[in-house]
Structure formats: structure tokens, C-alpha cells
Amino acid sequence: MMPKQIGDTLIRTVDLVKEFEISGGNFFGKDKPRVHATSNVSIQINKGETFALVGESGCGKSTLGRLMLRLIEPTNGYVEFEGININELSHESMREIRKKMQIIFQDPYASINPRMNVYNIIAEPLVTHKVCKTKEETKERVKDLMKKVGIRPEFINRYPHQFSGGQRQRIGIARALALQPELIICDEPVSALDVSIQSQILNLLHDLQEELNLTYLFISHDLSVVRYISDRVCVMFLGKVCEIGDTEDIFGNPLHPYTKFLIDAVPKPDPYLRKENKQLLQGDIPSPVNPPAGCRFHTRCPYAKDVCKEKEPEMKAVNNRQVACHIV
């Protein structure tokens, strides 16, 4: 593959914390239990790169994606897009910024309105932001976008149920591209698709990035997909960042024990790589309502020492990588 042009920081998060209150607590509505979705997450994404967030369910990867779009407000910390703190912006200025950041969702059956035709779905962002002057211009733009994502422009008046899952995901991508954004947040964009369709969408995302110089935040639980598509990876566990680094480094030589076990656990499509008695992570993922004290991974970590139970590990820089672990 071609080497990409990676530029300056496009978006970064500074000590982002998000806690959700859940039902419970006492009669007066006080002391409600809180889900610690993300805790002090600081990441930065550079222009033109694909930055992947991986982790298992409940690790906060989707919450982080929504925080970066300011679809939800953080409990603490802020998000900076092109040097501007977007959490301080007014509603009006936020609308302008929103044009530059878009999102693609996991389920192509739920994320597009079944009662709108393809034209209305893709034109909606153009109409909302009053980008085109005439209806004809809008129609031309929609047709261009359809061609770009590989849907025949003749289908402009069709409805979602007339398309397969892969085609619907293409429509979702066309809608995200409509406003010519800088950043696209892809939240598990291929998890609901069959393997043969998955590879078509991954190749499409890759081509669009090259053509339009897009920046992707790619949220996924599938490590094989992440390895294929991303330049840098951030591994999360229970709302905390474990490790951030270049994709090749992370997969070639994982430093954090969790990253190691995660990569090891993926079933490899090659029987010759079968390992009898491979070491598995024991136990379940702890609840994010009462995350373990100290390092959040210590209850499952076979290398845990006393210090891991007491003190939360700080982010350390280890040759071109960031790791949060006491034993590294």
C-alpha cells in the first residue's frame, strides 16, 4: 500500500471523563451509582491517519467516539478540534464544526430511515446545512456521492429495504461524505456484515481515504480488521487507555499484558497456527460501575503484583509508544 501523508494533530482529547448516572441510590436521588465509561482519556489523532480504538464491550470506545463529536457532554476534560476547544462553543459555532466531522454506524438496518429514499437520506445533511442553492445542484451532488461509494445513480429513488446490508452501509458512507468532512468516526462499520461484504467495505473506506485525504477514527472490537485498516492503535480496557502505538509495533510486540492476551485470543484463520494449551485470560470483564482499584486490569492479569492493586499506573512513554502498566 502507498505510504500516507500524515499531518499535524486534527483532534485531541484532554483528560476526558464521562460518567453516566444509573438508577439506584437513596430515596432523595443522591448517591446514584455511576458507570465510569471513560476515565482521563487523552489521545490525539493526526490529519490523514486512521486511528483505531479497540477493546471489548464496555471499555468505553463508543462513548469516546460520541464525546469527540460532542454528541454527549463530558463530565470532565475537553475535546480540541483543529486547536479549538469544542466543548466551549455555542450551538451555532458547533454546527459549523459538525460539518467537518461525521459518523458511520454499525447497523446499516438501524442507522438509515426506512421511510426515506436514497436521495433524501444522502441529501439530508446538504439540506440541513444549506450547502446547495438549487434542487438540481443537490441532485447532482447526491449522484456524485452515490458513484463514489459504488451505488448506481439510477437507484436514487429506491428505499433502503431494496438494498442489501453492504449496499446500505455504502449509503451510510455516502451520507457521511456529503459535507466533505475532515474526520469520519467509523463505529464498528463492518461488524454486522458477512466476510465477503466486509472486505468490499474495508477496501472502499481505504480508497476514499486516499482520494479525499480523510482522517478516520476507527472503532472496532475485531483486531484483524484493525490491523488491516489502521496506522495507529489505542487499546482500551474498562474506560482506560492501556497502550497507544503504531499498528505494526503493537501487533508485532505488544507491551501491555492485556494487549498481548487480546491478540492471542483472536481465532486465526490458519489451522497450522493452532496452539494447544494456549494461555487464556481467566474470568470476566469487571463491571464499569465498580471498577477495581489500582490498575483496572489487575483482577484478570496473571502478572499482577501488589502495587497493581493499590496504585493506578501512569502513562509511560516507551520507545515511540505509550503504555499504562507497572510491570513494563
Partner 1 sequence: MDELLRINNLKTHFFTKKGVVPAVDGVSISVPKSSIIGLVGESGCGKSITAMSIMQLVQKPGRIIGGSIELEGEDLLKYSEDKMRNIRGNKISIIFQEPMTALNPVYTVGKQVAEAITIHHHDVGKKEAKKMVLNIFDAVGIPEPQRRFNSFPHQLSGGLRQRVMIGMAMVCNPKLMIADEPTTALDVTIEAQILSLMKKLQKERDTSILLITHNLGVVAEVCDYVYVMYAGKVMEQANTFELFKNTSHQYTNGLINSIPKITAEKERLYNIKGVVPNLMKLPKGCRFCPRCEKAMPKCFMEEPPLYKINTVVAGEHYARCFLCESSEVMDDA
| 241 SS3 class | strand
Interacting residue with partner 1 among 116, 131, 263, 304 (CB under 8 A)? 263
Contact criterion met (CB below 8 Å) for 74 and 13: no
Question: Where in 224-243 is the site for partner 1 (CB under 8 A)?
Answer: 224-225, 227-229
The smaller minimum CB distance to partner 1, of residues 89 and 263, is found at 263
Q: Which stretch binds partner 1 (CB under 8 A): 81-89, 96-104, 192-200, 313-321?
A: 192-200
Q: Which three three-digit cell numbers place residue 179?
A: 459535507
Contact criterion met (CB below 8 Å) for 46 and 7: yes
Q: Which three three-digit cell numbers place residue 299?
A: 483482577
Q: Which stretch binds partner 1 (CB under 8 A): 177-185, 201-209, 291-299, 306-314?
A: 201-209
Q: Say whether residue 200 binds partner 1 (CB under 8 A).
A: yes
Q: Which stretch binds partner 1 (CB under 8 A): 21-29, 84-92, 191-199, 209-217?
A: 191-199
Radius of gyration of the chain (CA): 21
Q: Say whether residue 285 binds partner 1 (CB under 8 A).
A: yes
From the CB of 226, what's the least distance to partner 1, in Å? 9
Q: Say whether residue 323 binds partner 1 (CB under 8 A).
A: no
> In a 10 Å sphere around its CB, with 0-12 CB exposed, 13-18 middle and 19+ buried, how is residue 217 labelled?
buried
From the CB of 179, what's the least distance to partner 1, in Å? 28
Q: Which three three-digit cell numbers place residue 58?
A: 464496555
**Residue 293, number of CB atoms within 10 A of its CB:** 12
What is the amino acid identity at position 22? I
Q: Say whether residue 317 binds partner 1 (CB under 8 A).
A: no
Q: Say whether residue 57 binds partner 1 (CB under 8 A).
A: yes
**Residue 194, number of CB atoms within 10 A of its CB:** 12
Q: Say whether residue 3 binds partner 1 (CB under 8 A).
A: no
From the CB of 120, what's the least distance to partner 1, in Å? 24
Q: Which three three-digit cell numbers place residue 322?
A: 505509550
Strand extents, DSSP E, the chain: 9-21, 34-41, 44-46, 50-54, 76-81, 84-85, 101-104, 183-187, 215-220, 232-237, 240-246, 316-318, 321-323
Q: What is the rounded distance in angstroms from the CA atom of residue 297 to the CA atom of residue 59?
A: 11
The smaller minimum CB distance to partner 1, of residues 40 and 224, is found at 224
Length of the chain: 328
Query: What residue has cell string 465510569?
Result: 36
Question: Where in 152-181 is the site for partner 1 (CB under 8 A)?
Answer: 164, 166
Q: Say whether residue 31 binds partner 1 (CB under 8 A).
A: no
Interacting residue with partner 1 among 195, 317, 319, 320 (CB under 8 A)? 195
# chain residues binding partner 1, by CB under 8 A: 43
The smaller minimum CB distance to partner 1, of residues 126 and 186, is found at 186
Q: Say whether residue 203 binds partner 1 (CB under 8 A).
A: yes
Rule CB under 8 A: which residues touch partner 1? 1, 56-57, 164, 166, 194-200, 202-203, 206, 221, 223-225, 227-229, 251, 261-274, 278, 280-282, 284-285
